[in-house]
Amino acid sequence: IQLANKIAAGEVVERPASVVKELVENAIDAGSTQITVKVTEAGLQTITVSDNGAGILEEDMPLAFGRHATSKINSDHDLFHIRTLGFRGEALASISAVSKVVMKSCADGKIGHQLSVAGGRMEQSLTRAKQGTEITVSDLFYNTPARLKYVKSLHTELGKITDMMNRFAMSHPKIRFTFYADDKMMLQTTGSGRLAEVMASIYGMKIARDLVEITGQTGDYEVTGLVAKPEHTRANRHYISLFINGRYIRNFMLTKAMMTAYHTLLPIGRYPIAALHIKMDPALVDVNVHPTKQEVRLSKEADLMALIEQLIKQALLGRSL
C-alpha cells in the first residue's frame, strides 16, 4: 500500500505548490471563512494550512489518509455533479506518502485531536485545538529523492505557491486568506467578498479604480468579474484568471475569447489583467480530466466564448455591440 501511495503521489504531488493547493481546497470544502498558509523554504521544509472549518471527527482522522477516502462523494450521481473542490480522496494519502504530516483538528469547538503520519506509521493523541483543522507537512519528498530533483529553485517554487494563493483569494473573496513565506507576509485579504479589493491587494492599488465590472448570462452560463482597462497591460497571459464554479481553471479557448475582446486595444505582445467567475451547471463541466483538476472540458464552449467576448467588449467600449 505504501508503494501504491508513493506512485499515486507522483500524480497529485508534483511540487510544494501542489500540496498547498490540495490542503487549501480541503479547507475551502470544509466551509472555512479564514485560511492561513505558512511555508518555510518554499514549502520544502514545512507547509502549514490552518482553517476554521468543520473539522474532522476523531474516528475519521485516520480514514482521511486512506486511498480513495473521501467524505464528499457518495454515489455515481455525485461524480457528475461535483460541487466541492476535492472528490478523489487521494490528496492526503498521497501527501503523507512523501512527507511527514501532523493533523490537528477540532470538530465540536471543544476537544482537539492530533494525528501524526510518518513513514506509514500513525499516532493519535489529544491536543489543544481551536475549531477547525491545522495540517503541517514537513520534509516534503524526503523519501523520494528523484522527485526532489525535479523541484526547481526555491524562488521558482515560492512563485508557484504565491500564484496559487492569489488564485484562491480571487476565487473566494469571502474567505479571509493570509499567506506567509518564511515569516514574510505575502498576501492578506479581508474576506469582505469584494473581488476588486482582492485584486488590488494582489496587483497593486493603482489598478483598483481601473477595473471594469462584467456581468451577464445566457441560459447555461453566468459570468461575473472584473477586467482592467487596457492601459494596465502585462507581458504574459498569467494575469488572466478564470474560475468555474469557484475553481481556478485553464482553458485555451476561453482565454482566446478574452484576448479577442481586447484585440485592438492592446499593443502586440501585451496581455490584460482580468478575473472572471463563471457559474454553470456542474454537469456541463468535466473536471475529471486530469488529477490536478485544472484543465476542464466544457459543453457548449462556443456559446460561452461568445458571451465572454461580448461582455468584455461592452465593458471596455462602454456600449453594447
Residue numbers of the site for Mg ion (CB under 5 A)? 26, 86, 91
Partner from ligand ADP, Mg ion, none contacting 27, C-beta within 5 to 8 A by type: ligand ADP
Residue of 8, 13, 27, 161 that binds ligand ADP (CB under 6 A): 27
Vertex 39: Cα angle to 35 and 45 (nearest 5): 140
Short-list 131, 128, 130, 165, CA closest to 248: 165
Buried b / exposed e along 93-131 (16+ C-beta atoms within 10 A): bbbbbbbbbbbbbbbeeeebbbbbbbeeeeeeeeeebeb
Q: Which residues inside 116-175 make contact with ligand ADP, applying CB under 6 A?
A: 133
Nearer to ligand ADP, 55 or 272 (CB): 55
Residue 36 lies near ligand ADP (rule: CB under 6 A): no
Residue 87 binds which entry of Mg ion, ligand ADP, none, CB below 5-8 Å type-dependent: ligand ADP
- Closest CB to ligand ADP among 159 and 291? 291
Q: State the burial class of residue 223 (Cβ atoms within 10 Å of its Cβ: 0-12, 13-18, 19+).
A: buried
As measured in angstroms, the least distance from the Cβ of 280 to Mg ion is 22
Separation CA 35–CA 49 (nearest Å): 7
Contact 192/278 with Cβ under 8 angstroms?
no
* Near ligand ADP by CB under 6 A: residue from 16, 43, 53, 173: 53
**CA distances for 100 relative to 97, 143, 179, 217, 282, angstroms:** 8, 10, 21, 46, 35
Burial class (CB in 10 A: 0-12, 13-18, 19+), 310: middle
Residue 20 · residue 49 · CB < 8 Å:
yes
Scanning residues 7 to 26, which ones bind ligand ADP (CB under 6 A)? 22, 26
Q: Exposed, middle or buried by CB within 10 Å (0-12, 13-18, 19+), for 70?
A: buried
Q: Which is nearer to ligand ADP, 49 or 211 (CB)?
A: 49
Which of ligand ADP, Mg ion, none does 241 bind, CB closer than 5 to 8 A by kind?
none
Q: Give the x/- contact pattern for ligand ADP in 56-95, rule: CB under 6 A.
A: x-------x----xxxx-------------xxxxxxx---
Closest residue to ligand ADP, based on beta-carbon distance: 86
Minimal distance, residue 93 CB to ligand ADP, in Å? 6
Minimum CB separation from Mg ion for residue 25, in Å? 5
CB 217 within 8 A of CB 223: yes
Q: By C-beta, is 95 or 198 nearer to ligand ADP?
A: 95
- Nearer to Mg ion by Cβ, of 86 and 173: the residue is 86
- Sites of contact with ligand ADP (CB under 6 A): 22, 26-27, 30, 51, 53-56, 64, 69-72, 86-92, 133
